[in-house]
Amino acid sequence: MNTNYEDFLKSKQHSTINSGFEPINIPNHLFDFQKFIVERAIRKGRYAIFADCGLGKTPMILCIADNVIKKENKAFLIVTPLAVAKQMQREADKFGYEMKRSKEGETFGPVIHVTNYERLHHFDPNDFAGVACDESSAIKAMTGKTRKLVTAFFRKVKYRFLCTATPAPNDYIELGTSSEALGHLGQRDMLNVFFKSTTNLSHVFHKQGDFWNKQKWMFKPHAEKRFWQWVCSWGMAIRKPSDIGFSDERFALPCLNVNQHVVKSENTFGGELFSRVAVTLQEQRQERRNSMDERCAKVAELVNHDKPAIVWGHLNDECDQLEKSIPGSVQVKGSDKDDHKEDTFEAFSNGQARVLITKPSIAGFGMNWQHCHHMTFFPSHSFEQYYQGVRRCWRFGQEHTVNVDIVTTEGEAGVTGNLKRKTDQASLMMDALVAQMNNPIYQNKISKLHTENLETPSWL
């Protein structure tokens, strides 16, 4: 066989290391449920932590990184969304971990390194004993080139970890992205094992009515339960500590008030006499632009108070108009320099800016803004952006009722309906994952979870 072709095949292979090691140091600042998750992740070596917002994914991943460094005497890399790196640095300082910020691929010895997804191409995976993706669900929102880069980088690192609150919000096959990055089944292999294509079976309807997606995949007969068992063999889902048998004390969420404001727009489609529901994507976009003045005016009215507020937009023109109409507000755009984005987020976090205007795609992942308990939204089809945006404020540690104002038009009824459907799908998925985590057939009793590993089902 040609040597170059052999090298090509090797470059496509995942590392054969499929296990971790016994934890070396589990600090007391972790809660009991966090210690359990960390111990399990370290023993597995390649693991996903699907923990809801505010459950402490940052201290958990810092502890995992510290254990890997102690085991291998080699650097560990944490990759985060933009602007989360500064927050991660503060957390590391708080808990006494040595962390270095790296932007151009430079390494500083056997310590924790942190960088942004956009800078991962500067790094050599051979320099690191372990790697972790913070807010890993953000990967699928990136370009295909970035997703491939992350997977390729993970492939050659010994210990691999993913952390996110939304593993696959409403399209279960996205779990294949996580599995492939960790070195388990690739997404295509996962589809072949558990799913079948329904492209040519339009008459088929899944019994739950919730598993249609762009590729038209649905579970094979009797494969759904086995699918969730398989996911639980390499990841753990937790919405609250009691999901895995621990006390929920100190982890109670405050009330969440969601208010919908329907504004009337004088604009219609193509000169039609009466307004109607926007059906096609093109009509929805037109509806959004036609009603921009009315919607922005309503948002400016809603945030006309003296408390911190986040205004989530989707169009550049929306955000520009909102910035002009809301005194003292600051805006973060996608085109802004990275340093400017981080400085502006920092100003909002510190209370130097009262109102932050930005998009969920820019700041919807990873930021902790419990000092704020009011936000406004223009609805979109993305459940994940909505959920992650809300959870920047509505998270464990929030001391006030969180108010979310959704500003929409009569013509956008289809958008809000689709968002509700996706919300229900995400809830079903987390219910299935949590149910399997507590299934005594596929793991030992809760009282033994701290010392024993989950048994891998024989069919795997």
Same domain, yes or no: 270 and 244: no
Inter-CA distances, 39 with 35, 43, 145, 149, Å: 6, 6, 33, 28
Same domain, yes or no: 62 and 166: yes
Examine the fold and report which residue of 249, 272, 291 is the final residue of a domain before the chain moves on: 249
Identify whether 385 is part of a domain: yes
Identify whether 72 is part of a domain: yes
Same domain, yes or no: 125 and 14: yes
Identify whether 213 is part of a domain: no
Q: For every one of its 460 residues, what pLDDT tens digit does the chain have, with 9 covering 90 and above?
A: 455 655 654 554 444 344 799 999 999 999 999 999 999 999 999 999 988 888 999 999 999 999 999 999 999 999 988 778 888 888 999 999 999 999 889 999 999 999 988 888 999 999 999 999 987 766 665 556 667 788 888 888 999 999 988 776 556 777 888 888 888 888 888 888 888 887 654 444 444 444 434 456 788 888 888 888 888 889 988 888 988 889 998 888 899 999 989 888 665 545 554 555 555 667 667 777 788 999 999 999 999 999 999 999 988 999 999 999 999 899 999 888 888 988 999 899 999 999 999 998 888 777 889 999 999 998 887 777 888 889 889 988 888 999 999 998 877 766 777 777 777 777 776 776 677 666 544 344 333 333 344 443 343 3
Q: What is the CATH number of the domain that holds 291?
A: 3.40.50.300
* Residue of 271, 265, 272 lying closest to 287 (CA atoms): 265
pLDDT, position 266: 63
Please, are residues 34 and 64 in contact by the beta-carbon 8 Å criterion?
no
Identify whether 360 is part of a domain: yes
Same domain, yes or no: 243 and 311: no
Q: What are phi and psi of 455, to 5 degrees?
A: -80, 130
Residue ranges making up the domain that contains 24: 8-184+234-249
* Residue of 243, 293, 284 lying closest to 264 (CA atoms): 293
Same domain, yes or no: 411 and 263: yes
Give residue for tokens 């790196």: 85
Number of domains the chain is built from: 2
Q: How many residues does the chain have?
A: 460
pLDDT, position 355: 96
Identify whether 434 is part of a domain: no
CA distance 114 to 452: 32
Identify whether 321 is part of a domain: yes
Same domain, yes or no: 100 and 167: yes
Residues ≥6 apart with Cβ < 8 Å to 87: 58, 366, 367, 368
* Residue of 441, 460, 455 lying closest to 193 (CA atoms): 460
Same domain, yes or no: 161 and 288: no
Examine the fold and report which residue of 198, 225, 249 is the final residue of a domain before the chain moves on: 249
Strand 217-219 relative to strand 195-197: parallel, antiparallel, unpaired? antiparallel
**Dihedral angle of Cα 267, 272, 274, 277, to the nearest 10 degrees:** -80
pLDDT, position 155: 85
Same domain, yes or no: 104 and 159: yes
Q: What is the CATH number of the domain that holds 175?
A: 3.40.50.10810
Same domain, yes or no: 115 and 30: yes
Identify whether 452 is part of a domain: no
Same domain, yes or no: 312 and 364: yes
Same domain, yes or no: 60 and 145: yes
Identify whether 300 is part of a domain: yes
Same domain, yes or no: 298 and 409: yes
